[in-house]
Amino acid sequence: MYEVVIKHGRTIKGEPLEIALQGDKIVRVASEIPEAATTIVDASGLYLSAGWIDDHVHCYEKMTLYYDSPDEIGVKKGVTTVIDAGTTGAENIGDFYPLAQAAQTNVYALLNISKWGIVAQDELADLSKVQEALVREALATYPEFIVGIKARMSKTVVGQNGIKPLELAKTIQGENRHLPLMVHIGSAPPTLAEVLARLETGDIMTHCFNGKTNGILDQETDQIKSFVWDAYRRGIIFDIGHGTDSFNFHVAEQALKEGLKATSISTDIYHRNRETGPVYDLATTMEKLYVVGYAWDEIIDRVTRVPAESFHLQGKGSLVEGYDADVTLFRLVAESKTLTDSNGETRVTDTVIQPVKTIIGGTIYDN
């Protein structure tokens, strides 16, 4: 007898799917599981996927600039795992860690290369705050919690330092197990060309569809810049990172028209853009990619398997026997909804996605 069996579900492609859970693991995945279970979850009319992963959030509650509760943006929104994208650095990640461990949602962190993280908007304007020895110490102390490093490369963050902070980040990355590196792009300097020239296969560029002049779209020709294609083809991960000011419908639509698709879908969510928009939650960001033209199976893949692989989250991102018992149960509803991007432009979707139950480590939560 199993502890939990999720019955009568289906994949995003409509195929029948049932899942058995034992403790905090998936123990069977099949079109039908006839065996008895202590708890039966009736998923009639619902889709099942691996637990949704949001790989760019800000959820260290003690911060004053960008912060939120992990569970407000996680389990309550159908998201089983969040990755805090550099809110903290080596000097304060020790305060963040116990709060993250106390959450129902799985929480991981990218370590900001600046030792105090984002305590102010210009955390990389003073390069004395970038200390490789402190980064190495933090990685040794929290090897399971820290899954990568973060550098924000825009003029309000780096001040007069140009591309230098990214060069330091790449050095730190190379000397510390070549951890995944996420790089925030924004206004120049440094230029996007300078940033992408220094990134390697597997590095993550977040805010990929921002509407800024220094973004991927040439605003004179309305075409994707040629050097952006070079980066895309050599395996740079293009992450959405919607945020308050970093997702533009037209840029996303033009990129798709030319054949450039985001690699992963994330929110850059914190309390303000969750409460008053334009982000609200991961589901809303997923709806925006649907209205741009992505298929639902592509969208689900970009919030499950892809981020799990990008950040080496073993046991997550797929419905596979032996993997963690993290599952999102959701429905697609034919409903008209107006969606707003970071620049105030709107689109109307005819389908919304609604998480119904979130299962994390075998524990079932209603949405």
DSSP state of 110: E
Task: Tell me, yes or no, whether 248 and 356 share the same domain.
Answer: no
The answer as to whether 248 is a domain residue is yes
The stretches of the chain forming alpha helices (DSSP H) are 70-73, 93-102, 132-141, 155-158, 164-174, 192-198, 226-233, 249-258, 271-275, 282-292, 296-302, 305-310
Task: Tell me, yes or no, whether 205 and 279 share the same domain.
Answer: yes
Task: Tell me, yes or no, whether 92 and 238 share the same domain.
Answer: yes
Mean pLDDT within 212-231: 98
Task: Tell me, yes or no, whether 271 and 352 share the same domain.
Answer: no
Among 97, 142, 133, which Cα is nearest to 113's? 133
What are 298-342's pLDDT values in tens digits?
A: 999 999 999 999 999 999 999 999 999 999 999 999 999 999 999
Number of structural domains in the chain:
2
Task: Tell me, yes or no, whether 190 and 254 share the same domain.
Answer: yes
The residue out of 276, 291, 311 marking a domain boundary is 311
Task: Tell me, yes or no, whether 197 and 122 share the same domain.
Answer: yes
The answer as to whether 74 is a domain residue is yes
Task: Tell me, yes or no, whether 239 and 103 share the same domain.
Answer: yes
The answer as to whether 316 is a domain residue is no
The residue out of 311, 330, 350 marking a domain boundary is 311
What confidence category does residue 177 fall into, taking pLDDT thresholds of 50, 70 and 90?
confident
Task: Tell me, yes or no, whether 243 and 293 share the same domain.
Answer: yes
Task: Give the rounded percent of residues in the chain with a pLDDT score beyond 70.
Answer: 100
- CATH at 269: 3.20.20.140
What confidence category does residue 163 fall into, taking pLDDT thresholds of 50, 70 and 90?
very high
Range of the domain at 136: 51-311
pLDDT of residue 357: 98
Instruction: Give the mean pLDDT of the chain.
Output: 98
Task: Tell me, yes or no, whether 244 and 106 share the same domain.
Answer: yes
Token digits of residue 303: 């919030």
For CA atoms 135, 140, 143, 145, the dihedral sign is negative
**150 labelled ligand-binding:** yes
- CATH at 343: 2.30.40.10
**Orientation of helix 93-102 relative to helix 132-141, angle to 10°:** 30
**207 labelled ligand-binding:** yes
The answer as to whether 211 is a domain residue is yes
Task: Tell me, yes or no, whether 307 and 290 share the same domain.
Answer: yes
What are 85-130's pLDDT values in tens digits?
A: 999 999 999 999 999 999 999 999 999 999 999 999 999 999 999 9
For CA atoms 214, 110, 181, 259, the dihedral sign is negative
The answer as to whether 116 is a domain residue is yes
The answer as to whether 187 is a domain residue is yes
**8 labelled ligand-binding:** no
The residue out of 285, 311, 337 marking a domain boundary is 311
Task: Tell me, yes or no, whether 281 and 362 share the same domain.
Answer: no
The answer as to whether 250 is a domain residue is yes
**13 labelled ligand-binding:** no
The answer as to whether 317 is a domain residue is no
**68 labelled ligand-binding:** no
**58 labelled ligand-binding:** yes
pLDDT of residue 239: 99
Task: Tell me, yes or no, whether 19 and 81 share the same domain.
Answer: no
